[in-house]
Chains A and B, each alone.
Chain A
Amino acid sequence: MANTMSANTVAGSLRFKISFLLSSILSVAVAYGSDSITNASTGKLLLKVELTDQPANEFVLLKTGDAQGSLKLESVTNSSAGNSNALVLTVSKVGDQCGVVFVRSAEVESGQWYDLTFRARTEKRENDRGYGLTISLQSRDGRQLCARTTLPEVGGEWRDYTVALHSRLSHPAVTLTITMSEPGTIWLDDITLRQRQTGREMRTP
């Protein structure tokens, strides 16, 4: 079946290729997480990655050019129910790109829609504004961009966000990246990517 996002531990054509090979444009700062897989055949939850304190190489810092930043897990309140950790991305210098890449890859198909949902918060800024976040589905080496969208204002107290991604290319193994448009710190949680038609999802962390 085309346009699937599932795990390589799931039989059949639904595949997530968990790879720890990083492209030349990526540099690893930290990686945490673990995952559990539920029924793939019903179209319900396929993959759920719960944040734990155990490193499992689920996400890494993405920085290109002279970007500088860091990633860490932080215990939080007022985030998602039953999850006390959030992913904290700090960008001190944007460079060409600075953000987080989720290393699991997924197959996408040209013309299909993918919906990303996540929760986020930031500290209050002097200018009272949020941060621009760019979300991409791209090949591991960054050369093939399948879908990209930018939210102009993400910030303030914990809030749910929904982002539609329309893939203009087919690709067997894209990764999800979230980058910041300007220096700052953002807390992320409950990041879930679904294919719109099938409802299959990749959830991380």
Chain B
Amino acid sequence: MRTSDSLRALLLLLFTWSTVAPAQQRFNPPPPLSVEEAARQAELGSRGVRLHDPSTIVKCKDEYWIFYTGRDVRSYRSKDLVKWEAGPVVFSNSPPWVAEAVPANRSGRDFWAPDVIHVGDRYMLYYSVSSFGKNTSAIALATNPTLDPADPNYQWNDEGIVIKSSPRDDFNAIDPALFQDADGSLWMPFGSFWGGIKMIQLDPKTGKRIAPDSPVYGLAHYDSIEAPFIYRHEGKYLLFVNWGFCCRGTNSTYEIRVGRSDKVTGPYLDRDRKDLLVGGGTQVLGTEDVFIGPGHAGILKEGDKYWFGFHFYNRAQRGSSTYAIRPMRWDKDGWPVVEKALK
């Protein structure tokens, strides 16, 4: 993670320009940062790349990968967690079921908030198909034996819908996150608004729901809640969620909250022992400095170090959503603490 300030700033500028370029055809690009400001933000964790709803970081061979919201599911790759380069998209065509399952999806290729996990001999990528403000949605699965596009085995296979929702459901089947427990069981918390954060158990072999009528667990609710993520630490399960509203640039109100449980299925309680199902949630990260509305938490453990990935709306760039990684630690009571700066 150590790069000289000047090199880091130069890289940030290059990456910002490279990711802005395609968007210039449709949007007024955000103003570039000065070298000094780019370097300052880098010290605060910004990686300078524009993205929204990053997945958890996953490693393949010697590279780190994240996937994020966008046409065909987009990706970034990095060898050092500092320099991130655009990777290939997952799809070249819309999966055939999309138009029927979610007809309101604008192009059939706008996919939201993917998450990825390595289970067995393949990578499982879960992605959302929806349309704004509606819960006619689906979470689907695509698999690949490798994330390395140079590998001859590289091939994304769409496995279809894992769970879907309609106005007759009290949840919205988007924002999947994957969690594999120590016993190998696989869980998928998900959800956005409506009845809050839900979770189903998956079959690690198929990546699909363990049974069609398996329980849908309620984990958390708040007036504005989405983007769950579960992490296990010292035998406790931690549920991270987003409160607030995304996607409003500098007016976004996202913040990251957490609760903890002895069981993966909950109940998740905050520091004050208030259940996340009734509005509990201890703040982990909120708006600070130019980092407005942090969201979509993910944790990577490398050796004895923990890294906390998220996106934020950059106040210095008219609220352009940007990726950041910060070091994190655990306090004496086992609660996560996201450090303010990389040093």
Where the two chains meet, the residues of A that have a C-beta atom closer than 8 Å to any C-beta of B are: 113, 115, 127, 129-130, 132, 134, 145, 147-154, 162-166, 168, 179, 181, 196
Contacts and interface: CB of A to CB of B under 8 A. Distances in A.
Given A127-B251, A166-B195, A149 B170 contact: yes
Nearest to A179: B223
28 contacts: A113-B168, A115-B168, A127-B248, A127-B251, A129-B248, A132-B223, A132-B245, A134-B223, A145-B278, A147-B170, A149-B193, A149-B194, A150-B194, A150-B224, A152-B133, A152-B193, A152-B224, A152-B245, A154-B133, A162-B167, A162-B168, A163-B194, A164-B167, A164-B169, A164-B170, A165-B170, A181-B224, A196-B168
Nearest to A180: B223
A150 B223 contact: yes
A168 B195 CA distance: 11
Nearest to A153: B133
Nearest to B133: A153
A149 B223 CA distance: 8
Given A130-B133, A132-B245, A151-B193, A166 B251 contact: no
Interface residues of B, number: 20
A162 B136 CA distance: 11
B47 interface: no
Contact of A151 (B194, B225, B245, B248): B194
B170 A166 contact: yes
Contacts of A130: 133
Nearest to A148: B221
A147 B248 CA distance: 29
Interface of B: 132-133, 167-170, 192-196, 218, 221, 223-225, 245, 248, 251, 278
Contacts of B193: 132, 149-152
B170 A181 contact: no
Contacts of B196: 150
Closest 5 CB pairs of A and B: A153-B133, A162-B167, A152-B193, A150-B193, A166-B170
Contact of B223 (A162, A181, A196): A181
Contacts of A196: 168
A145 B279 CA distance: 12
B245 to A, nearest CB: 7
A181 B193 CA distance: 12
B167 A153 contact: no
Given A152-B193, A166-B170, 20 more contacts: A113-B168, A130-B133, A132-B224, A145-B278, A148-B221, A150-B193, A150-B224, A150-B225, A151-B193, A152-B133, A152-B245, A154-B133, A162-B168, A163-B167, A164-B170, A166-B195, A179-B223, A181-B223, A181-B224, A196-B168
